[in-house]
């Protein structure tokens, strides 16, 4: 796959959180991968993500609906080994979600689908793609929070990474909706089977992210 080359620093919310907690060699790799991503990537977990989002945003559906979606995916015809692997890993993701989905609690807020291409977060010259899959709304349909899904088999999100993702979500909510409430910013680690809430310690973690972004800007040209 031919890689494109991004002229200006850009990174995903999950990768900036990994970057802050990573060793120097891994940091260099992250910058290179973000600067030259493949020109075309089929989202590996897209089928599972769509089912989870539909389940959370459709209050009328029950666990039986989710079971039917897993069976539907199991019966999906595939023609290549890659397609089979992708299908099976999406099934694994949904099986993992089923194990803890009843523990999810967003208080009195309801879930709606997030925007597909929302504004990015700009920190110290780096554009961070946040893109919460779900917005949380009150009874008057005002956005009060958001939910970010993470799907990555074999690599659970550490508590530190979840904290950095959480403060990015909080910063994004402040900029987009003028809402500042760590208790309504969630990160759901599907394979880890846990829902993280954004931490109270906002300033220190945001300072770390700002320093990381400054470092990325300095390193970008030579990556």
User: Could you give the 3-state DSSP secondary structure of residue 200?
Assistant: coil
Percent of the chain with pLDDT over 70: 97
pLDDT of residue 156: 79
Instruction: For residue range 113-129, list pLDDT tens digits in order.
Output: 999 899 999 999 999 99
pLDDT tens readout for residues 135-188 = 999 999 999 999 999 998 877 789 999 999 999 999 999 999 999 899 999 999
Question: Among residues 47, 64, 16, which one has the least CA distance to residue 211?
Answer: 16
* Nearest-angstrom CA–CA distance, 107 and 125: 35
Please say if the pLDDT value at position 42 is more than 80.
no
Banded model confidence at residue 25, pLDDT cuts 50, 70, 90: very high
Helix or strand holding residue 208 (H, E):
helix 202-220
191 and 156 Cβ atoms separated by less than 8 Å:
yes
Band (4; pLDDT cuts 50, 70, 90): confident
The three-state secondary structure class of 115 is coil
Closest CA to 94 of 113, 70, 111: 70
pTM over 0.85: yes
């Amino acid at each position: 796959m031919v890689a494109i080359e991004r002229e200006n620093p850009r990174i995903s919310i999950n990768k900036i959180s990994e970057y802050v907690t990573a060793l120097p060699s891994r940091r260099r790799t992250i910058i290179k991968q973000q600067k030259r991503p493949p020109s075309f990537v089929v989202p590996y977990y897209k089928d599972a993500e769509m089912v989870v989002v539909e389940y959370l945003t459709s209050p009328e559906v029950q666990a039986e609906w989710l079971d039917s979606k897993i069976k539907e995916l199991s019966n999906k015809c595939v023609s290549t080994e890659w397609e089979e692997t992708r299908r099976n890993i999406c099934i694994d993701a949904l099986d993992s979600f089923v194990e803890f989905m009843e523990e999810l609690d967003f208080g009195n807020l309801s879930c709606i689908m997030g925007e597909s291409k929302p504004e990015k977060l700009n920190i110290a010259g780096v554009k961070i793609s946040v893109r919460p899959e779900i917005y949380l709304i009150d009874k008057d349909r005002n956005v009060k929070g958001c939910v970010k899904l993470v799907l990555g088999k074999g690599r659970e999100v550490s508590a530190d990474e979840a904290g950095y993702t959480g403060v990015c979500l909080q910063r994004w909510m402040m900029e987009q909706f003028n809402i500042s409430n760590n208790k309504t910013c969630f990160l759901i680690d599907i394979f880890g089977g846990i829902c993280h809430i954004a931490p109270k310690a906002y300033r220190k973690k945001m300072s770390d992210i700002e320093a990381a972004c400054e470092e990325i800007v300095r390193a970008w040209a030579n990556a």
